[in-house]
Structure 1
Amino acid sequence: MDATDFQAPQAGTVVRTPQGYPAFHPAPLPPDLPAFGFGDPLALALSRADTALSELSGLGRQLPNPHLLIAPYLRREAVLSSRIEGTQATLEDLLADEAGQHPQAPVNDVLEVRNYVSALEYGIQRLDTLPLSLRLVRELHEKLMDGVRGEQASPGEFRRSQNWIGPPGSTLATATYVPPPPVEMKQALESWESFLHQRDTLPELVQCALIHEHFEAIHPFLDGNGRIGRLLITLFLIERERLSQPLLYLSEYIERQRDAYYTCLQRIRTQGDWVGWLHYFLNGVQWSARRAATQARELMDLREQMRRKVQHASKALALVDELFVNPNINTARVKQLLGVSDPTARAALGELEQAGLIQEHSGRQWGRQYIARGVLRAIEAPASDANTDENTTHA
């Protein structure tokens, strides 16, 4: 890390690690931001993001069964967020694993994605009894790192040694960015938590953007910081009641705009460019919220189409919603879901297959496995920029 690149004392100061290398100690939040005047580009970005988020939250309240969307959305986010960190598991791999089948991706990759699902589900439930805090962050990290590569990196514990960010093979001497040493890190975390608990001092989306950036700057764990930082976005918006259901995730946007993401974060540290980062983040919220709302409507339309095809077959109809939770299905799962006998379960699967809603893909006569590929395609469908109006301009 070149200490001469860091020319913004208002963003933080360069300190020395115990090993003698420069590191960055971020200044406490909030920064001195410009006033959001009427007609200002940042005010417009905030207004658009706020509107899109409110519309998505309202849609979540109106959906006939929003829980059907929570499972696929959460799992899709787990796949995308983990992919940013280098895992190769797909959504189909994760769903196959959860259905007791054999995914094609490496076992460790699937486990990392599965842990992300567990951490996010845990965090959403934990908000009922514990506010967002350093304690909850540690608990999330423990869930995330359980049994996976990096497990030796003290799951659930803040680091006691120096870490760094850079290309594969980089060292402290060649790192792109070196977070604060452990002593300064503890001070920064205390300030971060204090800002996390502030209310009614900044627009919540601005506060959320600052919280995420600062967590990444502090980098308090030896591994898993990126995934925890992205989890915090969703959990913050749920805690502040800006999301009625956990339907908004930014990992897809970040993956599409990955270079801009890292550039914006680094420009805060080197130039104090908070405005550029806020533009990026608010555009990401707007894009992701519109994307989620469009996909939610499409999934609900698909659900109604599927229900109409088996409306006169009560057992098959009862299984349609379950296909949105996991498109993989077999006789054993039907027996468990409906509490029916083996012949009745096979008959229900036959009705779904005859209606074209599921397809057998194991090629076996016994222990046959089915998948609702139409549901899987709808969940995995790539974003249509024409429909979501992606804006990649960052002031």
Structure 2
Amino acid sequence: MDNYGEYYNIARLIVRHLREELPPEEQEKLDAWRKRSEGNEQLFSRLTDEAFLLEELPAYAARDREAARMKVSAGVKEANGRRFSFIYKRYIKYAAAVVLAVGAGWGLLHFDKAGDQPAGSASVELLPGGNRAILTLDGGREIDLDRAHTGEIARQDQAVILKSEEGYIAYDLSSAKAISSGNAKFNTISTPKGGQYRLQLPDGSRVWLNAQSSLRFPTWFGGKERRVELTGEAYFEVTHTGAEKVPFRVVLGKQTVEVLGTEFNVSGYSDEGDITTTLLTGKVKIDYGTGEAKAAGLKNVTLSPGQKASVKKLTEEIEVSKADIEESIAWKNGQFRFENAELSTIMRQIARWYDVEVEYRGDVEHIRFRAGSSRNVPASQIFRILETSGINIKTEGKKIIISK
């Protein structure tokens, strides 16, 4: 990555080009870079393409997705033969984030170093995952949510289960009569490797489920708590329940996260040594463990916004530290983001998203990287940049072999 600064500067030039703020001397630099290789020109075309940027916008303006799409029009500027313009600079900043992440992260390195040649070590192109999940109803019936039609897909007691046009499911209790906590039924949503999904719980709370994860929950909440059971990783936006202040509890193995109304991420895959909880807003209390940890006074901790708690599964110790919010929820925003991460950590995420197995040959697992990219790219682009560290990556079907 010796030329990383150059690639970053090119990305910034493209951003200024989109904003129509590029002076003549910098335009000459950008034009020279475009002419250097066919791969550079292809990447420029991609990063100035309206359809591509619109597809990436949700990762940077998730809350404004529909508004952003409405604010983008066929425009007033020609960019490489494509009509392109953002009406409001509020949304240009999101386009800038896309260019800088994709361009200065893995995109520019991939195209500028390798031109338009495919990664020589990859015999099969591994495509990214998508919205795939199975909903298991009380009684065992399974619904493939990827194939399910929009609208009503099932009923459980008085809950109507709906699939939206945007591709998430919601539990509608608007027509339900008075219910008690004694007869709640439970559903489970499960994502495979290469899958993710979003759902709205009966209380209106929203959940984003990462790959190879599951969430078990009642078809409605009653009584003195709202309790769900998680495996893998999920991001939660928990609704307040008014004056009752019914706590919302997420159980993951021995850990329980208790909240009233807040936004947080919980990750505790079986192949990871820690269970990590990252708090964005509100306040959460974390209870964990049995035995010596509780006896030592480490039974629970309370997090404030911007903090994370890492629980060691083996020792049941809890460590609270400042969180890198962007890194913690990058997956939810459609991104990979690694800050001084070991190769083994990176590859576990890649294995879940691209549905592959990883084999290491030699002492390569502890090499560290700092990088970021969209999750919506072929795996070969990621492998290309990892190989700049001197490692070799070979693809054999669904198996990835990494060596020096």
TM-score by length of 1: 0.29
TM-score by length of 2: 0.29
Task: Give the structure, 1 or 2, with the largest relative contact order (CA under 8 Å, sep 6 or more).
Answer: 1
More helix by share: 1
More strand by share: 2
